[in-house]
Structure 1
Amino acid sequence: MTQSVQRIAVIGAGPMGLAVAYQLALDGHQPVVFEADDRVGGMTATFDFNGLEIERYYHFHCISDEAFLALLGELGLSDRMRWVETKMGYWFRNRVQPWGNPLALLRFQGLGLIAKIRYGLHAFLCTRRRDWQPLDHVEATGWIRRWVGEEAYEVLWKKLFELKFYEYTHGLSAAWIWSRIRRIGRSRYNLFKEKLGYLEGGSATLLKAVSDAIVAHGGQLRLGTPVSRVDIQDGRVTGVHLPSGFEAFDRVVSTVPLPYVPRMMPDLPPALLEQFSARKNIAVVCVIAKLRRPVTGNFWLNTNDPEMDIPGIVEYSNLRPLEHHVVYVPFYMPGEHPKYREDDQAFTGKVRRYLKRINPDLSDSDFIDIRASRYRHAQPICEPGYLDTLPSPSLPVKGLWVADTSYYYPEDRGISESIGFGRRLAKDVMA
């Protein structure tokens, strides 16, 4: 028996929302994607950076990103994927040290041999672990301390936690942190070499292809069109309220960050509204700099420096070849933190100082351009047992589904994870 065509509103045009709409359109339905921004992509959206079309926030791909690679194949983009042997470094004790493989760990200055062995063993076992359930209700910093010891934790982990999660540092899930260690570890094609990927043209290549496919299969994309309210009548969804007025839909799927849900859906049961309101997120101010010379030869550089309030820098042009050298420097913090209210110049000024500190050969004339972008809900805070605190994506309102990147816990947010979850969600919506 053929399923009737459904008209479905998808709220949010990030990778998850686009994946939902893409799968719905492929299956013969009529998704309409509503995006408050003037472009698709969410955190993968691109902008004109002084003549260079590039993401506002850095992204890279791992060889384990199955959902992303499968979608590239469907869209005929597999030949646009490029894989590069990349390097990591660690800025510690006023110098850049090699990082990311056993030899670099053994040569690392500032850590004893026993601490190095414990750290290396923990990283190795994380890449081999498959079952995350035993870590689900375990607190992350205590779990890491027990494995690597106080010395390695103080040198290699403490600043990374504190400069990203601040007061939430000691309330994170070990399963969630483990998944981050494993993803990078699985990008190695041997113990000493790491391979990461980029798409020719960046995320814009994927975003355009997915958007075109949605439209080609009967869907719509409406940019600059925020949904102010989802209408709920007699226990079922009836449509959405837009700047232009009310529009009726058979079903509604929201993929925007969970803290936005209560204001869009105030008619949900109070217990549900409380669950969504309780979600905590880390914000980011991400500075991107275009330079005439590289800072280092690394793609990723962790930092442990009392004079820097950043967990690291990403030299994107050491992954994707570009005319100039492009560096991302993220400042993470809770959105309520006073630092988030500082102006862009405060952050760009720090980046100029930090990059010249790491590479004293850099001068002011090497900075071609520098910008800052902000995202209030960049990273969910996943405490132990996180999934236990979330409502089911299928809400107790007929025709209404809600999810964001935290729903594929313990996996960290990522393009591939959002694509995979979004396509599965679309199937569930029409099941």
Structure 2
Amino acid sequence: MSRIAVLGAGPMGLAAAQRAVTLGHEVDLIEADEKVGGVAAHFDFSGLSIERFYHFVCKADTPTFALMRELGILNKMRWVDTSMGYFTHGKFHKWGDPVSLLRYPHLSVIGKLRTGLQMLLTTKARDFHRIEHLTSREWIERGSGKSVYNNLWRRLQELKFYEFADTVSASWIATRIKRIGTSRRSIFQEQLGYIEGGSETLVEAIADDIRRKGGTIHLETPVERVVVKDGRVHLVHAGGKKFKAEAVISTVPIPLVNHLVPDLPQSWKDKYAAIRNIGIVCPIFKLRKSVMPHFWGNIVAEDIDIPGLIEFSNLRPLADTIVYIPYYMPTTQPKWHWEDEQFVDEAFGYIRRINPTILPDDLIDAKVGRLRYAQPVYQPNFRDKLPSVQTPIRGLQIADTCYYYPEDRGVAESIRYGRMMAEAA
């Protein structure tokens, strides 16, 4: 069996290390942070253990269920009836089922019929190869119409992707619609899941299994370099230490790879460098009152500079209201450099505009999470731009969340890719 170094202890790195050690390999899991989990890690929010960035489970997330069953924690899975709303013209409108679509006041009858048909066909589609060459805007305008794109989608895409808004892949947005659209109890009722105790329940169960089977997890050990000898991996320098490795599985963000693996061919470095990412700043609020009856609310208002908010406590029952407000943006935007307090002040102001009954005294606490490489910018034919997972350096595999395309970032895809890479090592 091989000695394998896994770089990064987010969900994909954890899944890779767990599978590798289960197969009998010697495993070093190397992580820069003080705890495992990556974007699924928890933090202490005034006595509440909760995710840094919100997570939910869909009924199509079979890799998650399989690993939970293997770890003996599938009984921790919980399902909740949830809903989506659109905030526009000063009020929330329920969204996501046929009745809500028909009652929505800001689309024409033709627009509603075309939208309903496009969403239905999307949830029934086996794959999206036929629209791979299209942008999301082109696909939505062809299916639902330009007025529907302008009313429901334009503002959301501009506030998430900014200058890249008109270059986003149709396959990616269609796959997101299908994943959510098939996670239902009926045609009228969306149903999403959470893990009792939060994502930390799964993350820590994986870490415990790695240790129990003989793997070693090295925290606060940032990777410095992958050393190559005679065309294959030889060592990993991390945290001032040297780790011998016959195989390396890298799950760190792709923008870091060229620095960590200087021996890659230039043609591969160029491909990695061409993959664009945008960041996220995510204020998290603990409130005494509910903001809305929905789990997630899209916001379409020209004078509100957020695409939506997530009332997480409408999914996972908690003592207080927990709301995430994700600001996605390229890190070249001036707003990226705002202080945390500026984001908190602006976002809480938007909460009070959306629900004027919320008063300043209803704010219990607020924190801000930041991630520089949060969302790959998926363009049409994106998979053609990706280097293969197995690199020209023998024993070295490289992937991050952009490899899930056309799926979006998610724990289920992280588990699937991590296990696949471990089995190929």
2:202 corresponding residue in structure 1: 206
Provide the rounded CA distance (Å) in 2 between the counterparts of 1:131 and 1:242: 41
Provide the rounded CA distance (Å) in 2 between the counterparts of 1:384 and 1:426: 29
2:421 corresponding residue in structure 1: 425
Provide the rounded CA distance (Å) in 2 between the counterparts of 1:356 and 1:131: 41
1:27 corresponding residue in structure 2: 23
2:58 corresponding residue in structure 1: 62
- Aligned-residue offset at 1:257: 1.1
Question: 1:29·1:218 contact (CA, 8 Å) conserved in 2?
Answer: no
1:189 corresponding residue in structure 2: 185
Q: What TM-score do the two structures reach when normalised by structure 1?
A: 0.97
1:241 corresponding residue in structure 2: 237
Provide the rounded CA distance (Å) in 2 between the counterparts of 1:355 and 1:397: 50
* 1:117 partnered with 2:113: yes
| Among 343, 347, 350, the residue aligned to 1:351 | 347
Provide the rounded CA distance (Å) in 2 between the counterparts of 1:353 and 1:259: 34
1:320 corresponding residue in structure 2: 316
* 1:338 partnered with 2:329: no
Question: 1:11·1:255 contact (CA, 8 Å) conserved in 2?
Answer: yes
* 1:215 partnered with 2:200: no
1:133 corresponding residue in structure 2: 129
Provide the rounded CA distance (Å) in 1 between the counterparts of 2:388 and 2:424: 12
1:280 corresponding residue in structure 2: 276
Q: Secondary structure at the match of 2:326?
A: strand
- CA-atom RMSD, angstroms? 0.9
- Aligned-residue offset at 1:308: 1.2
* 1:379 partnered with 2:370: no
Alignment map for 1:388-427 (pairs within 5 Å): 388-427=384-423
Question: 1:239·1:251 contact (CA, 8 Å) conserved in 2?
Answer: no
Residue 129 of structure 1 aligns with an amino acid whose one-letter code is A
Residue 42 of structure 1 aligns with an amino acid whose one-letter code is G
Question: 1:105·1:116 contact (CA, 8 Å) conserved in 2?
Answer: yes
- Aligned-residue offset at 1:246: 2.5
Provide the rounded CA distance (Å) in 1 between the counterparts of 2:402 and 2:68: 24
Provide the rounded CA distance (Å) in 2 between the counterparts of 1:132 and 1:90: 26
1:164 corresponding residue in structure 2: 160
Higher mean C-alpha displacement, 165-174 vs 204-213: 165-174
Residue 41 of structure 2 aligns with an amino acid whose one-letter code is A
Question: 2:313·2:323 contact (CA, 8 Å) conserved in 1?
Answer: yes
Tell me the alpha carbon deviations over residues 299-331 of structure 1, each in whole angstroms, 9 at most, x when there is no partner.
111100112111110000001110101000000
Provide the rounded CA distance (Å) in 1 between the counterparts of 2:265 and 2:98: 53
Tell me the alpha carbon deviations over residues 344-379 of structure 1, each in whole angstroms, 9 at most, x when there is no partner.
111101111111111110000000001111001111
Question: 1:176·1:382 contact (CA, 8 Å) conserved in 2?
Answer: yes
Provide the rounded CA distance (Å) in 1 between the counterparts of 2:131 and 2:253: 25
| Among 99, 106, 122, the residue aligned to 1:103 | 99
Aligned residues: 425
Q: Secondary structure at the match of 2:387?
A: coil
Q: Secondary structure at the match of 2:4?
A: strand
- Aligned-residue offset at 1:291: 0.3
Provide the rounded CA distance (Å) in 1 between the counterparts of 2:82 and 2:283: 22
- Aligned-residue offset at 1:189: 2.1
Provide the rounded CA distance (Å) in 1 between the counterparts of 2:239 and 2:8: 16
Q: What TM-score do the two structures reach when normalised by structure 2?
A: 0.99
- Aligned-residue offset at 1:245: 3.2
Question: 1:172·1:382 contact (CA, 8 Å) conserved in 2?
Answer: yes
Question: 1:286·1:330 contact (CA, 8 Å) conserved in 2?
Answer: yes
Provide the rounded CA distance (Å) in 2 between the counterparts of 1:328 and 1:223: 27
Provide the rounded CA distance (Å) in 2 between the counterparts of 1:325 and 1:235: 54
Provide the rounded CA distance (Å) in 2 between the counterparts of 1:352 and 1:140: 31
| Among 301, 305, 311, the residue aligned to 1:309 | 305
- Aligned-residue offset at 1:244: 2.4
Tell me the alpha carbon deviations over residues 97-125 of structure 1, each in whole angstroms, 9 at most, x when there is no partner.
11111111111121111111111111111
Provide the rounded CA distance (Å) in 2 between the counterparts of 1:31 and 1:170: 43
Provide the rounded CA distance (Å) in 1 between the counterparts of 2:216 and 2:256: 23
In structure 2, stretches of 5+ residues that fail to align are none
- Aligned-residue offset at 1:47: 0.3
Question: 1:282·1:381 contact (CA, 8 Å) conserved in 2?
Answer: yes
1:90 corresponding residue in structure 2: 86
Q: Secondary structure at the match of 2:223?
A: coil
Identical-residue share of aligned pairs (%): 47
* 1:76 partnered with 2:96: no
* 1:231 partnered with 2:239: no
In structure 1, stretches of 5+ residues that fail to align are none
